[in-house]
Each structure stands twice: as structure tokens, then as C-alpha cells.
């Protein structure tokens, strides 16, 4: 039996650009002042274009004479060679720019790349912690050394983590919370009603239930907050200097907690929002309710968590079902 021929390599052949293509690259470098990395990607894309035109069947195609069906064919070849959608998009951008430049010089009448779109790239699934990891993180008390304000900062970080995981808040929503409700507040926690009110994307307000663990952690922080914040500071969460906590400060503190909790992955605030949504969906199966709690305008945005839920169920099946494992 004859061997199956190997697929052609995805990388372009080691060729020099033709004079006209090199002139375009020089134009991008000198007049457009593109970054070296961008120039390198464009040059590679132009090498692919040059090679595809030279190898066209039944006869080579002069690049200024290329038509849309040629471009579509060459894009199809890139896909067959395993080139990623993002790389194909970069190639099309380079090719489109070349023909526009030629058009301004009167070398071509029509840009054959206009209207040709790259294949859609699969959207990566959001990363979520397991239930065990999320609970371990929420219960982790950050160590701040022996400074006088260490208990306050530990209580603050604990309350933040409980609210992020317990309510699915965005980082901007959390740092925007004020200590008390007011007409100017972007958000606040109503402990008596066990709800947090936030101003989300698009200026839309929503209310989310707050669990007992988050309320207890919040009260522990409020008992110590006055030792860091002035009486007239409206922010619920403040830094050691007494000013409203910034998103970057929050991200750094959360990562420190994750490391101390021994989590094997880099944790960011939005990961806790993903975990909140995924774990709710696993338990309830109510996609509409999760949409409302997250403040998504469209349920299609929320549906990504059904894929995370399916992954979780598949892992449970693989681990538990007697017919799932190979003998």
C-alpha cells in the first residue's frame, strides 16, 4: 500500500518577495511606520500570496490580475494547511492592503480581496474554578505580614472574594460599591434585604441576592473599615491609604489569595464571575435566572455557560459511570 502523502506545510516557502511586494513592505515600514512585528507578519502573508499565485493551476497567476475566486481558493488552501483563523485574518488584511495600495497607483482597477472574510475563530470558553477551588479561595484569609493594618486588609480581601464569587459581580461593579445607598452611588449592599445593587454595563442597574457567608464577611470588614477610611470616604472597599480600591489593586490581592490557597491556576476577578454562573447553572439548570443575575442583555451571552456545564457533566460521567472507562 502506498503511503498517504503528507499535508503541505502551513508555513510559507523560504522565498524572497518580488520587487513590487517588497516595495509595499517598504511603504508600510517608512510611510505607515508599522511595528516590526506587524511588518514580519505582513511579509509572511505576502510570501504566502506570492507562493499561491505561482503554484496556481492550470497556470500561474500574475498578482495584479488576481480575481476574487483566486483569493477564495488561496484562503481555502491556507485552511487545508491548518492555518489558524486569526493567521488567515492577518493574511487577508495584508493582501487587502496590498491591492488598495496598487489601486491608488492605478495598477489594479478592482481589489479582489474586498468582501472576503476570514473563517470565524472558535470563541474560547471562559475559565471557571471548580466548586472545591472556589470554596477554598473564598475561605482563604490573605496574609499581610505583621503590619498593624493586617487584620483589616485580610477582612477586606475576604469580603471581596465572597462578594465576587457569591454574587457574580464584575470588578468595576465591586470597586464602585459605596458604603451606604445614595442618589449618587453606583452601587451598595443592603444587608437588611440581603441584596447588592450595582450599576452594570450600559448603565443598567440590577439587584443580586447576597448569601450568608458574604454578609458575615462584609460585616467583619465593616467592623474594621473605620481604621483605614475617613468618615467621609464613600467607597465600601478602600486601600491601605483609605482611598477607593482600584481594579488593579483588587486583581493583585485576589491573585495573592489564590497563591496562598494553593490553586494551580492564575485567578482573576472575572474567573469568579464565570465560576458563579457555571456553578449556579449546574445546580439549577435555569438559564434565564442566571442571565438576570449576571445582567446579560442577551441570553446568547449566557449560553456559553451551558458548555461549561456540559464539560462538568462529562467529567462526572467519565469518573463515575462504569461504561465510561476503557477496560
| Residues with a known catalytic role | 170, 201, 270, 273, 296, 305
Write the CB contacts of 46 (distance below 8 Å, at least 6 apart in sequence). 17, 21, 24, 25, 94, 95, 98
Which SS3 state, helix, strand or coil, does residue 189 take?
Answer: strand
Q: 163 pairs with which residues across the strands?
A: none
Half-sphere exposure of 135 (CA within 13 A, CB side): 4
CA–CA gap between residue 63 and residue 225 (Å, rounded) = 69
Dihedral sign from CA coordinates of 252, 258, 261, 262 = negative
Distance CA 278, CA 313 (A): 12
Relative orientation angle of helices 247-260 and 150-167, to the nearest 10 degrees: 90
Distance CA 193, CA 200 (A): 20
Report cis status (omega within 30 of 0) of the bond before 58: yes
Q: Hunting for cell 457533566 — which residue is that?
A: 313
DSSP 3-state assignment of 272?
helix
As a 3-state breakdown, the chain gives helix, strand, coil percent values, each rounded to 5, of 55, 5, 40
Amino acid at each position: 500500500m502506498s503511503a498517504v502523502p503528507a499535508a503541505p506545510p502551513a508555513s510559507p516557502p523560504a522565498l524572497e518577495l518580488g520587487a513590487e511586494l517588497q516595495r509595499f513592505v517598504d511603504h508600510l515600514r517608512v510611510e505607515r511606520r508599522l511595528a516590526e512585528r506587524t511588518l514580519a507578519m505582513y511579509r509572511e502573508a505576502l510570501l504566502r500570496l506570492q507562493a499561491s499565485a505561482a503554484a496556481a493551476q492550470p497556470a500561474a497567476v500574475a498578482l495584479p490580475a488576481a480575481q476574487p475566486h483566486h483569493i477564495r481558493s488561496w484562503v481555502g488552501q491556507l485552511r487545508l494547511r491548518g492555518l489558524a483563523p486569526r493567521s488567515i485574518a492577518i493574511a487577508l488584511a495584508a493582501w487587502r492592503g496590498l491591492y488598495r495600495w496598487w489601486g491608488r497607483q492605478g495598477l489594479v482597477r478592482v481589489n479582489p480581496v474586498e468582501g472576503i472574510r476570514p473563517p470565524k475563530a472558535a470563541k474560547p470558553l471562559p475559565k471557571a474554578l471548580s466548586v472545591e477551588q472556589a470554596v477554598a479561595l473564598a475561605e482563604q484569609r490573605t496574609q499581610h505580614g505583621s503590619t498593624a493594618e493586617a487584620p483589616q486588609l485580610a477582612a477586606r480581601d475576604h469580603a471581596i472574594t465572597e462578594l465576587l464569587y457569591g454574587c457574580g459581580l464584575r470588578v468595576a461593579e465591586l470597586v464602585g460599591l459605596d458604603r451606604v445607598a445614595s442618589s449618587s452611588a453606583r452601587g451598595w449592599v443592603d444587608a437588611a434585604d440581603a441584596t447588592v445593587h450595582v450599576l452594570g454595563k450600559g448603565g443598567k442597574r440590577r439587584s443580586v441576592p447576597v448569601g450568608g457567608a458574604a454578609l458575615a464577611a462584609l460585616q467583619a470588614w465593616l467592623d474594621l473599615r473605620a481604621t483605614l477610611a475617613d468618615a467621609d470616604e464613600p467607597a465600601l472597599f478602600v486601600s491601605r491609604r483609605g482611598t477607593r480600591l482600584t481594579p488593579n489593586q483588587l486583581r493583585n490581592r485576589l491573585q495573592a489569595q489564590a497563591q496562598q490557597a494553593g490553586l494551580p491556576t492564575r485567578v482573576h476577578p472575572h474567573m469568579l464571575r464565570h465560576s458563579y454562573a457555571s456553578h449556579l447553572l449546574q445546580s439549577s439548570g435555569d438559564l434565564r435566572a442566571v442571565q438576570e443575575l449576571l445582567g446579560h442583555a442577551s441570553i446568547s451571552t449566557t449560553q456559553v455557560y451551558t458548555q461549561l456545564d456540559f464539560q462538568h457533566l462529562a467529567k462526572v460521567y467519565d469518573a463515575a459511570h462504569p461504561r465510561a472507562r476503557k477496560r
